[in-house]
Structure 1
Amino acid sequence: MATTASDNRTSIYIRPHVGELLQSGRVPAKTISKRLDRVVARYNVLVREALPRRLELTPAELVLLAKLVAATDLSEPDLALILPVKLQHAAERGEGQGADAGGLGYRLRPLKLGELLAVVDLVEQFIGEVDVVDRNSAKAFLAQDRT
């Protein structure tokens, strides 16, 4: 993406999901950038409200999820439904990274798709914010107030 130092303009490729939404009239605004901004603002609220409050991750669980999410094709929203299964497989192979992978999979299994997507968003936010994915960075990330 090309950005100049003098402004906040960025060139992006509009993929089908975003293109359809922007052209549908569901997000009214005069410019595409304002429509995108409104979509992102709504998305942020939806993700924050969909994240299960009862789901308290340990640093080891966050590291495990980060490794699974980074290695999993989540290009379509429905693919998030595979995470509990991947966690169970990690547990069976003894690849829990110091976390109870089977227990975490069990805790994620009853979540609705929107809740799982909120968990994925949290994990991807962690991956994007830290230099190294490890328990220390996970502990610091989880200590931040995200409300």
Structure 2
Amino acid sequence: MTRDAKLVNPNDTIQDAAKLMKECDCGVLPVRDGDRLVGMITDRDIAVRCIADGKGPNSKVRDAMSQEVKYCFEDEDISQVCTNMSEIQVRRLPVMDRNKRLVGIVSLSDLVRQSAGTAKALHGIARPSQQHNQSSPAA
């Protein structure tokens, strides 16, 4: 997992988020409000929920982020994390400690390096789904 995850605030601008993604060479940022994880924003969220709808760089992160945050715990078994990612069809998950504090982000590429369960996760993640709708932020 990546331990030094950069975070944004719901009131930050889309441009701020995009600049941070560029700086850290990542496509996803956790969104925090105080010490709470309140969402996730991806480069795809910015493209589909903002740019495609004509929203400019001064739009707020809250206008594009996904509010429903799926996560795993740092002490979970890798095979369970793979199964979870497969079932919910995500390529990245925030990693929390048992006090629900963010400690990092695990990605599909992190799992590939571990190899155990990766094929199962990839198969589940890559299957077509109606579960994720990019046209509006999750409620």
State TM-score, norm by structure 2: 0.28
- Which has more strand, going by share of residues? 2
- Which has more helix, going by share of residues? 1
State TM-score, norm by structure 1: 0.27
In our comparison, the structure showing a higher alpha carbon Rg is: 1
